[in-house]
């Protein structure tokens, strides 16, 4: 099975608005993009459909057992944690809330293993709390490039701030520059 580059994007409050600003500026990336948005099962499909309308890449709710492919966007369903098996296969499961949320960004990011011949990136966008901070440190420790949204463009600067405070963020960027950096890395 070929190695797939992986980008995990975590967001919460204000996330759809920010993602709808980032995705139209992206080409089809040579990476599988996993979005972990703090979301409920009631609105997750509408969220995926809305983002799909502005994305050059297909955006779908992730399903259990799905094999990651470059140029595809996978949204973690509301009420289920998403983890990766060997950086290739999606595992969805019911579980206790982590950082008071389900799905949790930390659960997804911390499931990543050191890739052989593939590249990683983690992105923490707007949101309340600290979900994603431990995950971003994990991605950095596995050789990934880490990005946090800056304070000026965040609706709520809790999650990006917590990520930045880990000291493991490579780039703190405004919304419009996040798409540029992802294009540079995986375009």
Domain ranges of the chain: 6-186
3-class DSSP state of 15: helix
User: Residue 38 catalytic?
Assistant: yes
Catalytic residue among 83, 131, 138, 154: 131
Q: What is the mean pLDDT of residues 13-17?
A: 96
Exposure of 116 in the CB half-sphere (CA atoms within 13 A): 3
Q: Predicted confidence band at 1 (pLDDT cuts at 50, 70, 90)? A: low
Q: In terms of pLDDT, which residue wins out, 157 or 3?
A: 157
What pLDDT is attached to residue 106? 98
Pairing of strands 120-124, 89-93: unpaired
Whose CA is closest to 98, among 111, 75, 81, 86? 81
Global pTM value: 0.98
Does the pLDDT of residue 2 top 70, yes or no? no
Mean pLDDT of 126-142: 98
> Which CATH number, 3.40.710.10, 1.10.8.60, 3.30.70.270, 3.40.50.180, labels domain 6-186?
3.40.50.180
Residue 146's nearest CA partner among 156, 132, 158, 129 is 132
Tell me, yes or no, if 131 is annotated catalytic. Answer: yes
Spatial distance between the Cα atoms of 90 and 143, rounded to a whole number of angstroms: 21
Helices (H), 28-120: 44-52, 105-110
Question: Position of tokens 């490039």?
Answer: 145
> Which DSSP symbol is given to 16?
H
- The model's pLDDT over 39-84, given as tens digits with 9 standing for 90+, comes to 999 999 999 999 999 999 999 999 999 999 999 999 999 999 999 9
Q: Does residue 142 carry a catalytic annotation?
A: no
Structure confidence at residue 3 (pLDDT): 79
**117 band by pLDDT with thresholds 50, 70 and 90:** confident
Task: Tell me the percentage of the chain whose pLDDT exceeds 70.
Answer: 99
The chain-wide mean pLDDT, for the chain, equals 96
Which one of 11, 12, 83, 104 is the catalytic residue? Answer: 12
* 62 close to 81: Cβ distance less than 8 angstroms: no
Running DSSP on this structure, what letter comes out for residue 118?
A: -
pLDDT at residue 175, as a whole number: 95
Q: Are 129 and 154 a contacting pair, CB within 8 Å? A: no
Q: Which of 11, 38, 111, 138 is catalytic?
A: 38
Give the three-class secondary structure for 104.
coil
CA atoms within 13 A on the CB side of 16: 13
- Encode pLDDT of 142-175 as tens digits: 999 999 999 999 999 999 999 999 999 999 999 9
């Amino acid at each position: 099975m070929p190695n797939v580059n992986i980008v995990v994007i975590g967001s919460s409050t204000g996330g759809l608005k920010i993602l709808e600003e980032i995705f139209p500026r992206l080409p089809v990336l040579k990476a599988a993009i996993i979005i972990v948005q703090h979301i409920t099962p009631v609105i997750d499909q509408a969220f995926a459909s809305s983002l799909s309308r502005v994305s050059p890449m297909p955006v779908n709710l992730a399903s259990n057992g799905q094999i990651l492919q470059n140029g595809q966007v996978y949204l973690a369903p509301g009420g289920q944690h998403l983890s990766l098996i060997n950086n290739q296969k999606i595992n969805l499961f019911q579980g206790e809330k982590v950082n008071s949320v389900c799905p949790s960004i930390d659960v997804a990011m911390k499931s990543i293993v050191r890739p052989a011949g593939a590249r990683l990136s983690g992105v923490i966008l707007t949101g309340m709390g600290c979900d994603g901070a431990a995950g971003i440190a994990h991605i950095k420790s596995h050789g990934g490039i880490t990005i946090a949204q800056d304070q000026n463009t965040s609706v709520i600067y809790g999650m990006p701030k917590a990520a930045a405070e880990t000291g493991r963020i490579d780039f703190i960027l405004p919304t419009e520059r996040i798409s540029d950096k992802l294009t540079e890395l995986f375009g």
